[in-house]
Amino acid sequence: MWGEKPNLAFAPKTHIELMENLDMADFERGVKVSGFRGYFLKGDGALLNMALWNFVMDHFIAKGDFVPMFAPSLVRREPFMGTGYLPQSEEDLYKTQDGDFLAGTAEVGTMGYFMNEVIPKEKLPMKFISFSPCFRREAGSHSKDVKGLYRVHEFFKLEQVVLCEANHETSVKHHEELTANSEELLQALNIPYHIVVNCGGDLGLGQVKKYDIESWRPGQNAYGETHSSSYFHDFQTRRLNIRYKNNEGKMQFVHSLNNTALATPRILISIVENYQQADGSIRIPDVLQKYMGGKTVISKTPNVTP
């Protein structure tokens, strides 16, 4: 666990109430235009969402070893098979009339980038911070979180993807590093969270170990998942045929890992609820203010720092 939950001297509002009152989101028109789970982000809601993208990208570029990438959301069947999303999870994917699919994470496109290739060992590890629009049908979740931004069909993610040599200890080291990277972001945003180790029955196909990071949501008086960090050994890379030559010249499959750096708009729930004030305004986290033109508070009265 990290962080102290805000000691609010008033009954906390949900992100739905806060964002609608401040004209940051419109859920009613979102449903009218997009259907079930539709939403619009507008005004400071849209700007705050984009501020988060820029903040996260700057954070990873400063590390010096992550390659920024815009990954396609429209992906052929082969990368989905390779990463393990097909055939088991086909019901949760949107499929086009051409037989392609819309990805729910940039992991799929980024892993497909190296499909059927041999990576020079000296280039390992390879680290990417990949951005993409994401789509999920949320099949089987029709009665869960039907309102607001927690479980939506269309969203945006910045995903950490790592390819490394075929060594368990190396995979474990990168797994802890990827998880720590996400913790750094939440700590910079000052969002309380805890980390959950998934039991075997909750692991996805091919996952060796998985952490979920759940961020505090005062409006629900509960934690909600915002990040997921996994490693696969060579499960994905065998299916995708991604290899390298080890020091003895023997061909081996690389190991793969991935972790959510940030998923929007879901993270907005924790931000607006933890930073809400008694008058219904929302303080902007310090690290995001420079991306919001110097604004410090989102309120019905404009507030811009000269």
**Neighbour order of strands in the sheet with 209-217:** 67-70, 126-135, 154-164, 255-264, 222-231, 209-217, 193-197
Question: Do 108 and 75 form a contact (C-beta atoms < 8 A)?
Answer: yes
CATH of 15-293, one of 3.40.50.720, 3.40.50.1370, 2.40.10.330, 3.30.930.10: 3.30.930.10
**Which of helix, strand or coil describes residue 183?**
helix
Task: Return the pLDDT at 306.
Answer: 38
Q: What angle do CA 8, 13, 19 make, to 5 degrees?
A: 125
Residue position matching structure tokens 């890992």: 257
pLDDT recorded at residue 139? 72
Q: Active site residue: 215, 266, 270, 281, which one?
A: 266
The type of residue at 57 is M
136 CB-near residues (< 8 Å, 6+ apart): 92, 93, 104, 153, 155
Residue 161: both structure tokens together: 């993807």
**34 classed as catalytic:** no
Contact between 37 and 138 (Cβ < 8 Å):
yes
Looking at 37, 136, 217, 239, which residue is catalytic? 136
Q: What is the pLDDT of residue 147?
A: 86
> Of 77, 151, 238, 283, which one is the catalytic site residue?
151
Q: Which two tokens stand for residue 40?
A: 């619009």
pLDDT confidence of residue 142 = 60
Pick the catalytic residue: 138, 165, 183, 225?
225
266 is catalytic: yes
73, 228, 229, 256: the catalytic one is 228
pLDDT in single tens digits along all 306 residues of the chain: 999 999 999 999 999 999 999 999 999 999 999 999 999 999 999 999 999 999 999 999 999 999 999 999 999 999 999 999 998 889 999 999 999 999 999 999 999 999 999 999 999 999 999 999 999 998 766 656 668 999 999 999 999 999 999 999 999 999 999 999 999 999 999 999 999 999 999 998 999 999 999 999 999 999 999 999 999 999 999 999 999 999 999 999 999 999 999 999 999 999 999 999 999 999 999 999 999 999 999 998 765 443
Burial pattern 106-127, b for ≥16 Cβ within 10 A else e, equals bbbbbbbbbeeeebeeeebbbb
Contact between 22 and 298 under an 8 Å Cβ cutoff? The reply is yes
- Angle subtended at Cα 213 by Cα 211 and Cα 218, rounded to the nearest 5 degrees: 155
Collect contacts of 141-148 with beta carbons under 8 A, ≥24 apart.
Answer: 142/36, 146/36, 146/37, 147/16, 147/27, 148/14, 148/15, 148/16, 148/27, 148/39, 148/269
Tokens of 119: 């990576």
Per the structure block, which two tokens stand in for 216?
A: 């505090």
Residue 32 dihedral angles phi and psi, to the nearest 5°? -60, -40
